[in-house]
Amino acid sequence: MEMFLAILLLEVISSLSFSVFTIICLSRTGVQRANITPLNRILISLNVSNVFYTIFMSAYLLLSNVWSYLFSIRSVSCFISSMTMFAITSSTWLTAVLCFFFFMKIIPSRPGLLMNFKNEIGSIIWKLILMVIVVSAGGSFITALFISLQHPNVRNSTMNEVKTLEENIRQKPILVNFVVIFNWLPFLVIIMTTVASAWFLKVYDSQMKKNNGTLAKSNVKDYLSAVYTMTGLLFFYIFVIVAVVIFALKIFVHRSVGYWICEMALLSFPTGQSILLIYSNPRLKQILKEIFTDINPVVTPKNAGRLGRSQEVI
């Protein structure tokens, strides 16, 4: 078990490092320009959510597996479970907001209600983020309330360790059920917007091939990067859902090798998501490269525009 805990610790460190790096870089860029772009608002919020996800998911796994007695205390169990629920739900919904934002930027600009909504998408990002916070808080409250009603209160520390462990295992499917209930809709949004964006981009690309304009080619390239990002996020969530399903069905015995692999998969999600978001952002990639190489980039007319834009065309 010690080896698996060491791996989980490395995942926590890497997740927090990449998420905090993204938050600092994007916030600094916003301060320098006296304006945080709608895309960066979503990315900052998503990485803040990833920080919460990493902290509370690791606390949840640690308490439920190592300090099982503490997790059997009703107040501790309710708090950790509700905050884990908040972190998971906010991360999923913010990813759906990000995919929806990309989708609105990729769809063709045609007169009508959709066109008006597309033009206003940047101004309503804060409202969408606030909605995510409200939904996540509501989900965490309901989870805490339900677990509180189902959880026996511990009055002393003499509870048999086996019974304590059995009780903790019994509580886990409750959290999984609420995660599914509150996150199926954003996952559906991620799927639909990714598929629709890829289709619209294919149509857009075929139309632009008839016009050999530089701007058109540049737009297609940026939109293609956005679709790749959405596709990567979709696969990450499918990967996590598979781990959650295996976890909920109790296919692997508690604390077996398969069990720990599922745990590592759940905790590796923020790291993979942060790396994907950094890779899809030219500016963040350049900053990360400078940190590790300590070499100033050679700015040429060819790459100067790309380094400054950071996907801001979308």
Alpha carbons 77 and 29: distance in angstroms, whole number: 39
Please tell me which residue, 227 or 114, carries the higher pLDDT value. 227
pLDDT tens figures, 185-234: 999 999 999 999 888 888 776 766 666 554 455 566 777 888 888 999 99
Reading the block at residue 289, the tokens are: 């490269």
pLDDT score, position 71 = 67
| 3-state SS string for 165-180 | HHHHHHHHHHHHHHHH
pLDDT score, position 217 = 56
Listing DSSP states for 220-256 in one string gives HHHHHHHHHHHHHHHHHHHHHHHHHHHHHHT-SPTTS
pLDDT tens figures, 231-262: 999 998 888 888 877 776 777 777 778 778 88
Answer yes or no: are the C-beta atoms of 222 and 311 closer than 8 Å. yes
